[in-house]
Every structure is written in C-alpha cells, then in structure tokens.
C-alpha cells in the first residue's frame, strides 16, 4: 500500500520513529528520517536504508528545510510523522508548577509547535494535490499522557494534551480536503525515554516494543482511524475519565502517592 510513497519522520534516530521508518521501508516506501542528533540519525539511516537529515523540530525553518529536502529526495510527501518529543520532571520545584520555564518552553516547542510548523509547510500543497483519495497523512505521536496524566511531569502532561488537541483540530478542519490525521497515544514503550524505569512486564499496561507502536499505526491507517491506541486499555481509562472526572483525579492522585518518583520514565 505504501510502496513508492514518500515518508518523512522526525525524531527518528531511534525508538518509535526508527521502528516506523523500518516498517515503511519494509513496505517499499522511500523514507526520510530526521533528528536533532546528527550522529544517531546518520547511523540509523545507514542501517535501515533511509535518507538522513538533521532537524531541530523546535525551529520552524528546520522543519520547512527538512520537508523541502525530503521532497527533493523522494517526491511529494505522502505521510508525515511528527514524532520527536521530550519530557521533563517537575523539578527543581518538585510540585505541579515546579518545572523550569526552560523545560516548559522546550516541551511546548517540541511537543506541540513542531506539528503546527509541519502542518503549515504541508497542508497548502496537500490541498492542491490533484490525486484522487487521500491527499496526505499527518501522524502526531502524542501519548496516553495527552488523554490522561503523566504523574510527576506537568509539562509533559500539558503539552501532550495540546498535541492531541491540535491533531483533533487538524483532522476536523481538513477532513473535507482528503487529509487524514492519526494521533498515537501509547503508554510506556521500551525506548531511551523510558530507560531506567522499572518495566511493567505483564498486563494491559505493559511496556511495548517500538515495533508494536508501528504495527498499531499501520492498522489504524488501513482503517483511516484517528485515535491510535497501542495499549487498547487506554480507551477504557479515557471513557472512565469522561464518565466521572472526580473519580479519575482521585485514582491518579492515589497512583502519584503510591508511585516512587524514581519509577517515572527518564523524562
Ligand atoms: N517511550 C514511551 O514510553 C512513549 C510513550 C508515549 C509517547 N511517546 C512519544 O513517542 C515519541 C518518540 O519517543 P521515543 O519513545 O521513541 O523516545 P526516544 O528518546 O528514543 O526518541 C525521541 C527522539 O527525538 C529526538 N529529539 C529530541 N529533541 C528533538 C528536537 N528538538 N528535534 C528533533 N529531534 C529531537 C531525540 O534525539 C530522539 O532520537 C515522543 O514524542 C514521545 O513523547 C513515548
């Protein structure tokens, strides 16, 4: 289905972005990957057969240049994956508003504005595309923390909620233009981001492999589904939250109390 298509993925030096790139390549797609870490992205690209670009997604000019270079290499982009993300703990204050302004600003730029910048570069061209059917797919790698909360990280929780909000808005505003938007909301995945965290090995909340997230995306794209839940149980938690907000806050507060801060991911 994706054979010959042009794919661009940010933050794909490793982890979830790399796994997605590998899956697209296995399907015969032409894949451009980017990352802020030059050494990592060049090594990964050489290993998997992608083209490598350096791009800091917090900089609009970098995103525009990445999209231009990816299109020069592989043709007009069919699927763009806004994957790069960062997280920071509530330090130095150690309370809900305790993160530094720098960590909040970086989270806002990298977790939210990167998708706005990419959309700004891609949407006008996609709207003008003459082809029948899907004009382009925009994938936002948000998080379960965009639907629920990531205890001990106010900046991650808040900006991932905003990432989900922007993905929904794009899906609504461009459904009639033939642009498909997919928003991925996993719980823990075994990547650098969760290194050092105690692994949940069993049950519906267990840590997944990055390739599981890539598989979930492909299943959702085949059905044109917006919300991608690699941990299906998130749908139950989200419905329970909508049904009773106070019970949700009570449950999350209990989780925060019972959870050692040392067990939170390597945010
Ligand atoms: N690992 C998890 O448990 C988990 C769960 C839910 C959502 N996510 C999200 O998945 C996405 C991918 O994360 P991952 O788990 O693969 O972690 P990862 O750390 O392996 O990958 C993130 C990549 O983003 C790159 N990056 C950081 N800042 C950047 C910037 N300014 N510009 C460009 N690239 C930058 C890093 O160099 C890194 O290669 C993130 O958006 C993350 O929030 C991860």
Ligand 1 atom closest to 141 (CA): 41
- How confident is the model at residue 267, as a pLDDT? 46
According to CATH, the superfamily of the domain at 6-263 is NAD(P)-binding Rossmann-like Domain (3.40.50.720)
Cα–Cα–Cα angle for 148, 151, 157, nearest 5°? 50
Q: Which of the listed residues 16, 56, 139 should we mutate to test ligand 1's pocket, taking the one with most ligand atoms within 8 A of CB?
A: 16
| pTM of the predicted model as reported, rounded to 2 decimal places | 0.97
Is residue 264 scored above 70 in pLDDT?
no
Half-sphere exposure of 36 (CA within 13 A, CB side): 10
- How confident is the model at residue 261, as a pLDDT? 63
- Alpha carbons 151 and 163: distance in angstroms, whole number: 18
- How confident is the model at residue 48, as a pLDDT? 98
What percentage of the chain carries pLDDT values higher than 90? Answer: 92
- Alpha carbons 3 and 124: distance in angstroms, whole number: 24
**Alpha helices, DSSP H, located in 49-112:** 60-74, 101-108
Beta pairing partners, 147? none
Q: How far apart are the first and last CA of the chain?
A: 36
| Pair of tokens at residue 128 | 């003008």
How far away, in angstroms, is 159 Cα from ligand 1 center? 14
How far away, in angstroms, is 40 Cα from ligand 1 center? 13
Show me where the domains of the chain are located.
6-263
| Pair of tokens at residue 225 | 């589904």
pLDDT confidence tier of residue 198, bands split at 50, 70 and 90: confident
Q: Are 160 and 150 in contact (CB under 8 A)?
A: yes
- Alpha carbons 16 and 22: distance in angstroms, whole number: 10
- Alpha carbons 103 and 87: distance in angstroms, whole number: 8
Nearest to 78 by CA among 119, 20, 142, 134: 134
How far away, in angstroms, is 160 Cα from ligand 1 center? 12
Strand, coil or helix: what is 179? strand
- Alpha carbons 213 and 93: distance in angstroms, whole number: 33
**Alpha helices, DSSP H, located in 91-209:** 101-108, 114-128, 154-174
How far away, in angstroms, is 85 Cα from ligand 1 center? 4
Q: Which residue has the tokens 């709207």?
A: 127
What percentage of the chain carries pLDDT values higher than 70? Answer: 97
- Alpha carbons 156 and 175: distance in angstroms, whole number: 28
Ligand 1: which residues within 6 Å by Cβ? 10-11, 13-17, 35-37, 40, 55-58, 83-86, 110, 141, 143, 186, 188-189, 191-194
* Number of Cβ within a 10 Å radius of residue 226: 16
Q: What is the pLDDT of residues 63-118, one digit of tens each?
A: 999 999 999 999 999 999 999 999 999 999 999 999 999 999 999 999 999 999 99
Atom 7 of ligand 1, residue of closest alpha carbon = 143
- Alpha carbons 219 and 163: distance in angstroms, whole number: 21
Average pLDDT, the chain: 95
Q: What is the pLDDT of residues 140-178, one digit of tens each?
A: 999 999 999 999 999 999 999 999 999 999 999 999 999
């Amino acid at each position: 289905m994706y054979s010959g298509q042009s794919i661009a993925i940010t933050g794909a030096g490793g982890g979830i972005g790399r796994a997605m790139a590998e899956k697209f390549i296995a399907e015969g797609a032409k894949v451009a990957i980017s990352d802020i870490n030059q050494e990592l992205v060049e090594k990964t690209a050489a290993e998997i057969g992608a083209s490598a670009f350096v791009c800091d997604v917090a900089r609009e000019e970098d995103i525009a240049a990445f999209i231009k270079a990816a299109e020069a290499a592989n043709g007009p982009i069919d699927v763009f994956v806004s994957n790069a993300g960062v997280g920071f703990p509530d330090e130095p204050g150690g309370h809900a508003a305790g993160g530094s302004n720098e960590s909040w600003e970086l989270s806002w730029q990298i977790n939210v504005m990167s998708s706005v910048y990419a959309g700004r570069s891609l949407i006008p061209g996609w709207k003008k595309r003459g082809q029948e059917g899907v004009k382009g797919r925009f994938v936002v790698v948000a998080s379960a923390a965009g639907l629920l909360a990531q205890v001990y990280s106010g900046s991650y929780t808040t900006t991932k909620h905003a990432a989900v909000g922007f993905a929904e808005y794009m899906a609504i505003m461009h459904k009639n233009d033939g642009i498909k938007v997919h928003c991925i909301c996993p719980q823990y995945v075994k990547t650098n981001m969760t290194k050092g965290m105690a692994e949940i090995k069993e049950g519906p909340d267990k840590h997944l492999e990055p390739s599981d997230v890539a598989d979930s995306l492909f299943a959702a794209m085949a059905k044109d589904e917006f919300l991608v839940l690699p941990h299906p149980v998130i749908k139950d938690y989200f419905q329970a939250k909508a049904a009773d907000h106070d019970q949700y806050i009570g449950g999350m507060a209990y989780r925060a109390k019972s959870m050692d801060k040392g067990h939170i991911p390597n945010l």
